[in-house]
Amino acid sequence: MKVLVIGGGGREHAIVWKLSQSKSVDKIYCCPGNAGIAGIAECINVNQNNFNALLDFVKYEWIDLTIVGPEDPLSKGIVDLFEKDGRKILGPTKAAAQLESSKVFSKDLMKSHGISTAEYKVFTSYLHAEEYIRFKGAPIVIKADGLAAGKGVFIANTMDEAMDALKIIMKDKAFGDAGNKVIIEDCLKGEEASYMVFTDGKSIVPMVSSQDHKRIFDNDKGPNTGGMGAYSPAPVITEELEHVVMEKIMKPTIRALRSEGINYKGILYAGLMIDKGVPSVLEFNCRLGDPETQPVLSRLKTDLMEIAMAVAEERLSEINMEWNNDPAVCVVLSSSGYPGKYRKGDVITGIDEADKMQGVHVFHAGTAFKDDHVVTAGGRVLGVTATGKDIATAKARAYDAAGKIHYDGMHYRKDIADRAIKRP
């Protein structure tokens, strides 16, 4: 079979890497791909938002399945177009993808169907939002309504931080039209975790749990990023809690959408806050998380192509999902200046040496080729991922491998997975 993967980050490299292990996959294409993906797939030079060109490519090459990595094409309706033409594609429709593309839609759906989330209010007026912040005080959370590459959420611990965040979203328009509406919500306390499932609209099959590290600096300091590292499993998600998450959050969300006339197929990701064993939803994503995908797929034993086809063909109940018990840790290496304006074009060395280490795989995120060298081409550059007999071993391997890699301005957190290791 032939498969097309849309996207060019660390998540997509992990997807392509796992697909390459499938006995049923003969050829993998990726649009646009990156320097790492190019080693195991054919990268095609088509704009990932040019859906008609992608559809023509799928028809011409007789592609059996398309897998959508990033949120932007989903929010713009690529699945609708492909399904209308009878093409198999993994991902939710534009209406279903509103769970991620509109935080207002998501929060309103949760509220109306009794799914636990923080109290909130929605504003289109800067002055009214400012007035509400002064009334509520800090800490408080300010979110842009639309897509902002994981950077549109501000956890403000002081009034000054809250006002700055509101200004960035609504006045400075740092996220464009995504900031036309803001959600201001109570700041939930507890421990965060990521929980992802496959669903064909009828059956829901969970993946192993994971935990992301959003802030740029150690000890969760500094601005939010797309994610500076992740590990799996997340010990905070116990077997008992997983049952609660499935019965109180994941299944009710799919049912809630169905009651609104929306059939959700693909991957559903819940960003959770766990407080005293009680989960609440921070956000939903409509695709695999990045960098959570890297450690999660590193533990997947079942053929990913079989799973993806079963979702697309609405026969997920036939799949018996199996996972490796060994934990996995991913450490993200970023460019100087990220998550703000960052450098590009710095030559990267040591990737091959790191990749040869036991239990290690280096996933490319923001890389490209220049004069026969692999160079930096994004804010998040690499996701150094390792497995081990326990989280401490996986972490040590990941950091040993990261130490082999060098480029000017390289930055990474030194505390990925510490919370799990220190957990009593």
Candidates 3.90.1150.10, 3.40.50.1980, 3.30.465.10, 3.30.1490.20; correct CATH number of 119-186?
A: 3.30.1490.20
Q: Residue 288's CB: how many other CB atoms inside 10 A? A: 28
Cis amide linkage into residue 139, ω under 30° from 0: yes
Which residues fall within 8 angstroms of residue 393, CB to CB, at 6 or more apart? none
Residue ranges matching CATH 3.30.1490.20 in the chain: 119-186
Per-residue pLDDT of the chain (424 residues; tens, 9 = 90+): 999 999 999 999 999 999 999 999 999 999 999 999 999 999 999 999 999 999 999 999 999 999 999 999 999 999 999 999 999 999 999 999 999 999 999 999 999 999 999 999 999 999 999 999 999 999 999 999 988 877 788 999 999 999 999 999 999 999 999 889 999 999 999 999 999 999 999 999 999 999 999 999 999 999 889 999 999 999 999 999 999 999 999 999 999 999 999 999 999 999 999 999 999 999 999 999 999 999 999 999 999 999 999 999 999 999 999 999 999 999 999 999 999 999 999 999 999 999 999 999 999 999 999 999 999 999 999 999 999 999 999 999 999 999 999 999 999 999 999 999 988 6
Residue 336, Cβ neighbours under 10 Å: how many? 16
| Chain centroid, CA 195 distance in Å | 11
Tokens of 310: 């079963």
Q: Which CATH class is domain 2-91?
A: alpha beta
State the pLDDT at residue 404: 98
The tokens describing 325, both together, are 């018990």
What confidence score (pLDDT) does residue 423 get?
A: 80
Q: What is the location of CATH 3.30.470.20 in the chain?
A: 191-318
Record the tokens describing residue 103, joined without a space.
Answer: 């935080």
User: So what CATH class is 191-318?
Assistant: alpha beta
Nearest one of 12, 3, 6, 1 to 366, comparing CA atoms? 12
Task: Return the axis-axis angle of helices 103-112 and 251-259, rounded to nearest 10°.
Answer: 100
Q: How far is CA 340 from the centre of its chain?
A: 19
In the numeric block, the tokens 């803001």 are attached to 182
Residues of the chain with CATH 3.40.50.20: 2-91
Specify the pLDDT at position 152.
86
Structure confidence at residue 257 (pLDDT): 97
The pLDDT, as a whole number, for residue 99 is 96
CATH 1.50.10.20 fits 328-422, yes or no: no
**Where along the chain do the CATH 3.90.600.10 domains lie?**
328-422
